[in-house]
Structure 1
Amino acid sequence: MIDFNIILLYMVLVCPLGVFCHGMKNYGPHGETDHVHTKETPCDVCPRYGRCVPKVQCPAHVRPASYNPSCHLDGDHIGVCCFTGSGHAAESERTSRASVSINVDDVKISHNRSRHKLKEWLARSEKLLERSSDTVVNTSAPSFGHHLSMVTYDKRADSLGRGALMNLFAAQELRARDALSEEQLSLGFAEHTDGPFCPPTPSCPTPPSQFRSLGGECNNPSIPSWGAVNTGFERLLPPAYNDGVWEMRRSTIGITLPSGRAVSIALVLEGSHPSPTHNLMFMQFGQFVAHDISAGVVFGIGNGSAISCCVGDGEGFLPLELQHWACAPIATDPQDPFFGHFRHTCLNFVRAQLAPASDCSVGYAKQMNGATHYPDLSHLYGSSPEKFGSLRGPGGLLNTFNDYGRELPPLTVREECLTAKDGAACFESGDNHGNQLISLTVLHTIWTREHNRIARVLTKLNPGWNEELVFLETRRIVQAEYQHIIFNEWLPLLLGPEIVQMFKLAPSAGYSSTYDPLVNPSLTAEFAAAAMRFGHSIVDGKIQIQSPHSHDVYETISIPEVMFQPSRMRLRRFLDQLLNGLSWQPMQNVDPFLTEGLTSYLFRGGNPYGIDLAAINIQRGRDYGLRSYNDYRRLCGLPPFVDFSQFPPRAAQRLASVYNSPKDIDLWVGGLLEEPVDGGILGPTFAHIIADQFSRLKIGDRYFYEYGSDVNPGAFTSSQLAEIKKVTLSRIICDNRDGIELMAQPPDALLRADLPGNAPVPCESTLIPAMNLIKFKEQ
């Protein structure tokens, strides 16, 4: 007989406020429902101290064994009760598992074989260098431009990458010996399995510094490597490596996935769909943010030269005996509608550098982030002592190139640009990527000027400060301005008000109290290799230079003509002209349409062809082990697509022409096919992945600009914080323009200047408020 008193007691304990918990559907690997609880009312309070979070922030909820009742996030949104944080295992799996215990002999064998294998690989790499005419990319080839966009000059990255390979080899060996199962690897149950390489632990000052470290280390005293440069991207879901460790994903039926170029031709079309609201500055600021927090690093050969995987620049695949072990070239059809004209059947592609786990453990491959994971302007200031030293100038300023009275970023001595004629400019930046696109160089310029503008004011306000203090205080203020613009202006226009509310991303009225030392702020692979790459869809293939008075277009610049060719910055009127143009010119909508400047002519230099960025994105997602698009829909609480007919007819036909099943669709491709969320420009899958990331970057960053002295060692006073929250991107532009042609600016710098209510106003207008730096005078 059923004891209803026991049932009633259980319900009261589980839902203390009398609101019964509603279990959620858990989808199995093929989209079927594993179990469904029939109660309809979500919890107001989660049982057993669970936290109510958006579904994307509780990966365990998609596990068949999980129990994650639904709950009220706020008055409008439903989340899930999470008991496992960002861990991948369900609660029952975590509590019932025994700790991984591996035979000592297996560990010794794996370590020895790992060291031997690394030695073999490095010797093979050196041997290939003897055939450099075949194995190294020609500096005039488009693939060299791609290499420049992903190269790092940080010497620490190479040694860490080799250590990561050793630990990876150890994982492969233990997996082959059945000492570790694929599930143990994927769910992180091998965290106590030491690898043969252990990265050095950051040395943190006591008491903690009031200023952010250069490399992002020591933000969290308990785990000082979180968010640091040269550490690995984390995961929303376990990777889909074919061997569970590093081998690239295959189709669900075991065959090779379609070529990234084939998918690009079928699904990523040429077309122009201008945004009715957002301007090209929105796109450019987004790329500026992306470069600051995410910098994938590729393997190099010898002293870091670009690896070639193709004969010539694409005439065919190099023979396997000449291919570097990091090669994963993309096949192109001999009848390719573009590359076929040049008899290219191979697109060069080099796999990403790996990073070791901070706890020395073995596990699946994690790709290295060559930037700090935090929005801290590391691409302006550098993230290594060497780079930092080269960028600093006297008096607390950043170094600049004085071009007849105009401050531009300093010139670089490296061959980083495609034009090397006398008088051609090639600029230095904190990440070596500031020359990639000339509109990006413009943003590097105005933020460099912003640092120097504030430093000069602080020097006058505080004559007792030495130049070290001036520099660090200025950097702290500029970083805060930048973070405020991201969260106050850019994210709301990207995600829409509902997603911003759901993930609590809006700035607070005063100090924020959301810091959680248990949240890892590090970027996820899904964010870096797929969701944040939505930005490639919103690029316009041409930059328009407009008249400052009539706004008629009097010059149009093709984007491939100004990639790694920033010499136009030396034209006196150009910076103002381009800033004006970015305000008026619409960006493209987020959709599966890319300009041919990115799919045919990217990094072309003087060649009649370039590379295909869409194909590269697809292959990069597979390199990172990203799961299929459907898996991330489930993670976000969306139903998976079980048949191509569920897509719009044109998309369904094109998808079916390349993919064997909807279960094979790449995340980047699927995300671009979605309709945007209300008030935003992204579909729900990308919106949730990006919102989750910026939530981590807020909640897990002790130095976030809104935190008070109870959290942040370098907290602003309440009056200083109030001044920082006045700052807008329009103010940054107005304060750092040349003032030759730009006299007015739309109040919202990220929306089209022809929108009602956003007409340009004089830079002196109160509609573009200014920060009062007197609040930063030392009392």
Structure 2
Amino acid sequence: MFKLVLRLFVYVVVVLPVLQVNCKTADKNVGGHYTSKDKVTGHAHKKERPCDICPRQGKCVPKVQCPAHVRPHSYNPECHLETVGLLGVCCFTGSGHAAESELKFRAAASVTADDVKSAHHQSRQKFEQWMSRADKLLQHKDVVINETAPSFAHHLSVMTLDKRADTLGRGGLLNLFAAQELKSRQAISDDQLSLGLTEHTDGPFCPPPIPCSTPASRYRSIGGECNNPVHPSWGAIHTGYERLLPPDYSDGTWAMRASTIGLPLPSARTVSERLILDGSHQSPTLNLMFMQFGQFIAHDTTAGVMFTIGNGSAISCCSGDGQAFLPIELQHWACAPITADPNDDFYGQFHHQCLNFLRTQLAPASDCSVGYAKQMNGATHFPDLSHLYGNSEEKVSQLRAPGGVLNTFNDFGRELPPLTDRKECLASKDGAACFESGDSHGNQIISLTVLHTIWTREHNRVARALARLNPGWGEDTIFMETRRILQAEYQHIIYNEFLPLLIGRKLIQAFNLSPSPVYSQLGSYDPNVNPSLTAEFATAAMRFGHSVVDSNIEIPDAKTGGVYETISIPEVMFQPSRLRLKQFLDRLLTGLAYQSMQTVDPFVTEGLTRYLFHGGNPFGLDLASINIQRGRDYGVRSYNEYRRLIGLEPYVDFKQFPPSAAQRLSSVYTSPEDIDLWVGGLLEEEVEGGVVGPTFASILADQFLRIKRGDRYFYEHGPEVNPGAFTPSQLAEIKKVTMSRIICDNRDGIELFAQPPNAFLRGNLPGNEAVPCESLLIPSMDLSRFKEI
């Protein structure tokens, strides 16, 4: 008996850990580098058996969540994720960029008091020079965009009227200039900059401190502040985008990325013209509602704030309508115009050689530290319907109406979003409509305006029901409780319906993104996780949606079952007046349910690459060029770097791509290491059960997990985490809500009486045929659970 016990003891204490770990801690490998200038072939773990249990209390995570694993001399053995068939890495550094050795042996601060004093002085001096130069530029009429130009419509869709952005943007520049001065004095190194190890230096500008109430508010703040009381700026409006990998600025701080041989990258327009073609490849399962809801999410969470001149005027970098570049002495510092070849297939006929492009305003770090440029987000980083309610108290007050409801335009008994005084819509004749929203995007395309309409109606529907159930509530309580419920409905639709179709069930499981039976699992919230959006998400992965836009929107005819009219996309940009036609909203909602979206591939409709915001002009903007240039503006690294990050082998030869893509890629890029992330992501085959390739899917999964784990007010978090947690019975009702229920409850009901149960799958797919809106297949939320006892 004693021998048996001894054998069991030896097995459990000695043998079992060896069998479970299967990792050799001495077998330290060297991964890839962040810099694409180095000739590396990627992060190559030795083919040892993956760990079942990570050594040294490491955590097994998907590779995208451990950026340090691609740093030189990192030790991150592969391990088995809980999801069968997927491998992760043992991570010891969290989501930080530095490897263990770099954190452990980090050099002591080398910045002296004299260095800091000089940096502050030089920063302020440079800032004053730049501001003075901008004031002088206003004397030249060519520096301000003509209001009839397509670029002016683009300006309207990205502009902000919030004065806080300008103040913080100037502070971001001051701190950037200080970092550049310290770098020139060799007081901080390139590695310290790229890894964010410069917090020991104080910048010349500090953002105002954010006061947080105690106890915490039951409701998430309007601007996203105080979600995390220890880090009150995380996820808030006017803060910077975070990074999966350090930026690739050619000067280490803000200059746009260069090629592997040090020359400028090919023009974004040249890349677009040769690689991003017009073509139609319809999705076999997903509809245009999926596409439109994706844009709705993107506008809610990301809104780059552009530099302006004078009192918010749009800056031009081109002369005439784009025939030439403004002389360099007349170009604003934020100008990064895109070159169009004189023989360009489209712009060449208009003699356009200059496509206007402005860089994004910078955000200062909340701790005043200096470092590389971080671009400013003009929205909260949370999916919180900020584009419905606004991001400031002033905007919310403007949108609210008495009784806790949202203000609307009563169009002969139909509720539409309120009319706006902003002159952004193209039609201004009698009867034309231009609508207000919580952001600057509401009129951008009419299908987006429809989503703003039904969510506005949903707020008012819920608010009126709550007022009847709780007659003692004041209008502020009604408004905030309704907003809290709608934010939960919206988040549930994202995580329960949208994401599984976007990235596939396998990654949903690997990243633990599925809704829980009741509350999220204990430990799902982590106060050390920053929920802010990454630059890679905002400039590339979430812009997959530009590939799935169809060139036309088909409006069905309920009587004949055919097509009533076909509308080209440019016809309904900043032209939402069709919503005033009595049957149009129902017809468009029906059309979005049945019309296929396009697949994710390097094909984008000419409506976006030639005629975007064209207005009355025979030409418009090229959205593909803007996407490519925006990635470079943000310092997003090359496509290969993100393949390494997620554990895929990088491309070392263009011949590794399919022949058609290889020939076109080699005609514009010098090396596969130069390929822009957005372009490379569109070239990938979709993941199992999803619509995007593995690189985009990993970036998207990582971001939505950051939001779930770093958002204290996430709808599923229980009362031990969320100050505004729902009761179990209330949460159960919220989890009944689907996008189809939102549509059914807020349609006009003139021609739309039935709806496919899954709003994002085509309505003619077997198993998703339309059912009456009253059907139990489209369950309703019982609002009586929200009656205060």
Question: TM class by shorter-chain length?
Answer: over 0.9
Within 2, Cα distance between the matches of 1:447 and 1:161?
32
Q: CA deviation at 1:414?
A: 1.5
Within 1, Cα distance between the matches of 2:182 and 2:390?
38
* Residue of structure 1 equivalent to 2:603: 593
Q: CA deviation at 1:302?
A: 0.6
TM-score by length of 2: 0.96
**Aligned match of 2:573 in 555, 563, 567?**
563
**Aligned match of 1:261 in 250, 258, 269?**
269
* Residue of structure 2 equivalent to 1:231: 239
* Residue of structure 1 equivalent to 2:32: 27
Q: CA deviation at 1:101?
A: 3.0
Alignment of 1:482-561 (within 5 A): 482-513=490-521, 514-561=524-571
* Structure 1 residues 35 and 570: alpha-carbon distance in aligned structure 2, compared to 1, 3 A threshold: closer
**Aligned match of 1:666 in 661, 666, 676?**
676
Alignment of 1:297-696 (within 5 A): 297-513=305-521, 514-696=524-706
Within 1, Cα distance between the matches of 2:354 and 2:44?
46
CA-to-partner distance for each residue in 1:727-770, whole Å, 9 max, x for gaps?
A: 00000000000001111100000010110111111101111000
- In structure 2, the gaps of 5 or more residues are 1-9
* Residue of structure 2 equivalent to 1:208: 216
- In structure 1, the gaps of 5 or more residues are 1-7
Within 2, Cα distance between the matches of 1:550 and 1:590?
32
* Residue of structure 1 equivalent to 2:178: 170
Contact 1:31 1:642 (8 Å CA) reproduced: no
* Residue of structure 2 equivalent to 1:3: none
**Aligned match of 2:759 in 749, 755, 758?**
749
Contact 1:494 1:681 (8 Å CA) reproduced: yes
CA-to-partner distance for each residue in 1:165-200, whole Å, 9 max, x for gaps?
A: 000000111111111111110011102211000001
Q: What is the one-letter code of the residue matched to 2:23?
A: C
Q: Is 1:66 the equivalent of 2:87?
A: no
Q: CA deviation at 1:549?
A: 4.5
Q: Find the residue that maps to 2:667 and give its secondary structure.
A: helix
Q: What is the one-letter code of the residue matched to 1:713?
A: P
* Structure 1 residues 475 and 16: alpha-carbon distance in aligned structure 2, compared to 1, 3 A threshold: farther
Contact 2:42 2:649 (8 Å CA) reproduced: no
Query: Number of matched residues?
Result: 769
Q: What is the one-letter code of the residue matched to 2:627?
A: N
TM-score by length of 1: 0.97
Within 2, Cα distance between the matches of 1:607 and 1:684?
39
Q: What is the one-letter code of the residue matched to 1:31?
A: V
Within 1, Cα distance between the matches of 2:109 and 2:642?
28
Q: Find the residue that maps to 2:145 and give its secondary structure.
A: coil
Q: Find the residue that maps to 2:110 and give its secondary structure.
A: coil
Contact 2:237 2:378 (8 Å CA) reproduced: yes
Q: Find the residue that maps to 2:158 and give its secondary structure.
A: coil
Q: What is the one-letter code of the residue matched to 1:27?
A: G
CA-to-partner distance for each residue in 1:508-542, whole Å, 9 max, x for gaps?
A: 11110211111100000000011100000000111
Within 1, Cα distance between the matches of 2:56 and 2:719?
31
Q: Is 1:44 the equivalent of 2:46?
A: no
Q: What is the one-letter code of the residue matched to 1:774?
A: S
Within 2, Cα distance between the matches of 1:237 and 1:419?
44
Mean CA deviation greater in 544-553 or 227-236: 544-553
Contact 2:30 2:74 (8 Å CA) reproduced: no
Within 2, Cα distance between the matches of 1:418 and 1:148?
12
CA-to-partner distance for each residue in 1:694-719, whole Å, 9 max, x for gaps?
A: 00010110000001100000000000
Within 2, Cα distance between the matches of 1:139 and 1:716?
48
CA-to-partner distance for each residue in 1:42-94, whole Å, 9 max, x for gaps?
A: 22222222211100000000001111111121133211111111111100110
**Aligned match of 1:114 in 109, 112, 123?**
123
* Structure 1 residues 711 and 16: alpha-carbon distance in aligned structure 2, compared to 1, 3 A threshold: farther
Q: CA deviation at 1:31?
A: 3.0
Mean CA deviation greater in 16-25 or 166-175: 16-25
Within 2, Cα distance between the matches of 1:25 and 1:173?
33
Q: Find the residue that maps to 1:407 and give its secondary structure.
A: strand
Q: CA deviation at 1:30?
A: 2.8
Alignment of 1:731-750 (within 5 A): 731-750=741-760
Q: CA deviation at 1:416?
A: 2.0
* Structure 1 residues 35 and 556: alpha-carbon distance in aligned structure 2, compared to 1, 3 A threshold: closer
Mean CA deviation greater in 547-556 or 507-516: 547-556
Q: Is 1:100 the equivalent of 2:109?
A: yes
Q: Percent identity at matched positions?
A: 70
Q: Which stretches of structure 1, 4 residues or more, deviate above 6 A after TM superposition?
A: 11-14, 22-25
CA-to-partner distance for each residue in 1:645-671, whole Å, 9 max, x for gaps?
A: 000000000000000000000000000
Contact 1:400 1:408 (8 Å CA) reproduced: yes
**Aligned match of 1:698 in 708, 712, 718?**
708
**Aligned match of 1:241 in 249, 254, 271?**
249
CA root-mean-square deviation: 1.5
* Residue of structure 1 equivalent to 2:5: none
Within 1, Cα distance between the matches of 2:307 and 2:775?
50
Contact 1:602 1:611 (8 Å CA) reproduced: yes
Contact 2:41 2:652 (8 Å CA) reproduced: no
* Structure 1 residues 711 and 743: alpha-carbon distance in aligned structure 2, compared to 1, 3 A threshold: same
